[in-house]
A and B are shown apart, each in its own frame.
Chain A
Amino acid sequence: MKLKYFSAPYLVWMVVFIVVPLLMIAYFAFTTDDGGLTIKHISDVGQYANIFVRSIWLSLVATAICLVVAYPVSFILSRMEKHKQGTMLMIVMLPMWMNFLLRTYAWMTILGNNGILNHLFGLVGLGPYKLINTSGAVVLGMVYNYLPFMILPLYSVMEKIDKSLFEAASDLGCSSGQILFRVVIPLSMPGITSGVTMVFVPAISTFIISRMLGGGSNLLIGDLIEMQFLGNAYDPHLGAAISLVLMVIILVIMTVMNQFDPDDQVLM
């Protein structure tokens, strides 16, 4: 018996439950209810350009904040004594293990109009401010939920950078700024690219964070898709078309990110 036949059950599963559903998305996006070909749904997506722009913008901002906040964290972690690193990493990743609905709910109670922050502001005679149901709250929710996705890949790349490289650079006259830009950042590029993708993809496609922290006025692509499948606006053809466009956007962003990844470059 040949070993490769062992994979037969999975291959059937893969075709039926991964390939066929994706083809169905494409099919629904380009057909009408009676099966005729159309590009109407794809062109209808254009009506929601503002929602697409908002989703891309908010998730880019959240990704940038995650990168800026996570970079020093990962660096500090990677330079700790070896036996402390494991424990510290566990402490940083622990909130990740709570369901993200609960983590987002926590911010609902903090940012709410009668929430803790406004209560504290009230004690010193300020506010109440409108904190929840703003785009800022959505970005905050994204950063809070996905920050560990940025820290982990950055840490695992930086941990492998040999300390003597920094010493060599500084012996050769590099300032600490030059060490950062000419040694640390280039060497941690694979971590940056995978961290950015790991934060950007869930951020741009979320519908929970925008719903719980953004109120009704900060709809994202995810909300739009959800409404077409489970909401009042039931229209799987439009929903499929939006999903298709979302996948294309993500594909473009990932291709751009791969350009920065030294592993994939032929010339260095």
Chain B
Amino acid sequence: MKKLGKIYLLLVLAFLYVPIFVLIVFSFNETKSRSVFSGFTLDWYVRLFHNRIIISSLVNTIIIAVAASIVSTVLGTFAAIGINSMRKLPKSVIMNITNIPIIDPEIVTGVSLMLLFVFFAARMNLEFGFVTLLIAHITFDVPYVILNVMPKFNQMDPHIYEAAQDLGCSPLKAFRKVVLPEIMPGVVSGFLMSFTYSLDDFVVSYFTTGSTSQTLPITIYSMTRRKVSPEINALSTIIFVVVVIVLIVKHTIENRAARKNAA
């Protein structure tokens, strides 16, 4: 029974990984063939780094992800502080609306923002591009920050904030010294989550971008629409290696923290 389970797990893992490994293998293929490996080359990697569109969309993606996740973290953390001190009814109304971008299909979030931006573009000096992308990314990022920070308040004793003030802290200092350290883990994970969602987003960006500001997923999409180009394989390989490194580092840090807590 145990053996059967292991075999099954291996099969599922093969299903998940074989397509990625195929991509990686063919990134070193000499010809453009997607089925016959004819010889080893690093040409596609060289071409990738000389492809200005890919490099500039990578830079755009990172700028937008960093900006959107910083703004969302600040906006979301303050929102969580405020929402937490509200009464039950307004709290649940706001939380239900906050959940909408998470539950709704991405395409609906995308087209609804597009309708709004079209409306503004026609009446004000708004162009589809960096600004609309940034607004869209913040909009789908903030809910994740709020959802990560809110539970930290429930775990916190509400009286320690008052106690700090009774002991002579100004409200600001009490917040900085008492509340912030307590909610910090939620703030950090909210930030990381929005950052990864922003890096990875295609659907919402697709509807809210202009011709001036392309993100990497949008460039990848237009590459897949054209003829076969093994540069995508090279890009996939690099992304895969980066992901593996990041996850191993994250895993090691978490393991170490868990062991420290246990000790």
Contact = CB atoms under 8 A, between A and B. Distances in A.
Interface in A77-123: 77, 86-88, 90-92, 94-95, 97-110, 112, 114-116, 118-119
Interface string A183-219: 0000000000000000001101101100010000000
Contacts of A76: 5-6, 8-9
B16 interface: yes
Interface residues of A, number: 79
Interface stretch (B49-57, B104-112, B181-189): B104-112
Contacts of B81: 3, 6-7
B107 A99 contact: no
B139 A95 contact: no
Contacts of B79: 6-7, 9-11
Interface in A17-63: 17-22, 24-25, 28
A72 B115 contact: no
B85 A22 contact: no
B34 A116 contact: yes
B190 interface: no
A153 interface: no
A254 B105 CA distance: 13
A239 to B, nearest CB: 6
A77 B12 CA distance: 12
A73 B82 contact: no
Contacts of A8: 82
Interface stretch (A154-162, A163-171, A240-248, A255-263): A240-248
A144 B255 contact: no
A97 B22 CA distance: 17
Contact of B251 (A86, A102, A148): A86
A28 B244 contact: no
A243 B107 contact: yes
B255 A86 contact: yes
A109 B85 contact: no
A34 to B, nearest CB: 15
B144 interface: no
A79 to B, nearest CB: 8
A203 to B, nearest CB: 10
B13 A72 contact: no
Given A116-B35, A208-B221, A247-B105, 7 more contacts: A3-B82, A97-B200, A97-B246, A105-B220, A109-B228, A205-B107, A247-B108
The 7 closest A-B pairs by CB, nearest first: A7-B82, A205-B105, A10-B79, A21-B112, A119-B35, A106-B19, A6-B82
27 contacts: A1-B171, A9-B78, A9-B79, A10-B76, A10-B79, A10-B142, A10-B146, A11-B79, A14-B97, A18-B139, A25-B115, A76-B6, A94-B243, A98-B236, A98-B240, A99-B239, A102-B239, A106-B23, A108-B224, A119-B35, A144-B16, A202-B105, A205-B108, A229-B207, A243-B107, A246-B108, A250-B105
